[in-house]
Amino acid sequence: MNWLFSFSLVEALLIGLFLSFYALYFVRTLRLARQLHTTPWSVVPKFVLRSLTLCVLLIALMGPLFGEATRAMSAQGRDVFLLLDVSRSMDATDVAPTRLERAKFALQQLTDSLVTDRFGLIVVADEAFVLSPLTTDHQALNQLMQAVRTDASNGGTNLCEAIDLARDKMVTDSSTRQRTRAIVLLSDGENFGNCPPATLARLSRYDIALFTAGIGTETGSTLRNGRTFLMDDQGQLAHTRLNRDFLRNLSLGSSGQYIEFSDHLADDLATGLRALPGRTINQRRVTVTTNKYYYFLGIALFLIMLDVLITVRTLRL
């Protein structure tokens, strides 16, 4: 028999208290019996019964493990490339503190909730760059994500280039073939690059789901440029808004979906990823033992009931 918990100071303290109080009780009963010129040994049966009850309770407390059972265990894996928009428009404050900071926070929550999945990170502005390949080291990925800042250049955003890059990385990596594959794009939807229909068609061909999440509001916000505000080519205040329709149309071409920004964005993304058809990457049979404390707890309750029902005269006159 194995034990879930080892014998500790708690069990030793319980035994010590039990013996100490019963020793005081024995001494007091013996003195009284001498004064009454009788025998106190009738307290012995109760002592034996209560000692047995204590032993059984301690066994239940330590968690006895026995009774082996064989169970089949399997693990399903997902490979997810995170695409993070780092263009200047992600500095907008219509989502506090900024769009970029809220997007990074949501992605960190997502990686924390899907602990068995592999994640990669691609940042995109006018060009797309792989900051991290697919990895299970979520802590290192989150530290890398914390250092991401917006691109200070005035170039536009080419989101579809980032989608193509993520798809190519998955297709050329043989380790992703046995896993569910997905791309998660967090952006305000302001795209200035070419996005041909073939880009989304290739995602469906390789069974890669695309999830898009809009970061921002339709009201939008101006952009600060140091102590002043950023101006457009016409000399007017540059104003950025969420392009929800573009992001929604991107997700329509795959088994993914568009997810509206909210305080539960990470949970919504995790739910969508878990709903994808899973692929078993590891399956094995293991032998386990279970905690059978309830057997001993039942015996202890029965002994306590006997202790209550059986009466013993302590002193016989």
> Omega before 97 cis (within 30°)?
yes
pLDDT in tens, 9-64: 888 998 999 899 888 988 888 888 787 777 777 778 888 888 999 999 889 888 88
The reported pLDDT for the residue numbered 26 is 85
207 torsion bin: left (phi>0), alpha (psi -120 to 50), beta (else): left
Angle between helices 99-113 and 265-274 (to 10 degrees): 40
Residue 60 to residue 54: CA distance in whole angstroms: 10
Structural contact between residues 159 and 211, judged by C-beta atoms closer than 8 angstroms: no
DSSP reduced 3-state for 5:
coil
To the question of pTM greater than 0.85 for the whole model, the response is: no
Phi, psi of 102 (to 5 degrees): -70, -35
Identify the CATH number of the domain defined by range 74-281. 3.40.50.410
Give the distance from CA 222 to its chain's centroid.
Answer: 36
- CA–CA separation, 87 and 98 (whole Å): 12
pLDDT at 30: 82
Q: Residue 278 class from Cβ within 10 Å (0-12 exposed, 13-18 middle, 19+ buried)?
A: middle
CB 130 within 8 A of CB 121: yes
pLDDT at 146: 92
Nearest to 163 by CA among 253, 269, 275: 253
Residues of the chain with pLDDT under 70: 68-76, 153-156, 232-233, 278-288, 312-317
Q: What is the pLDDT of residue 157?
A: 83
Q: How far is CA 241 from CA 29, 99, 222, in A?
A: 87, 11, 9
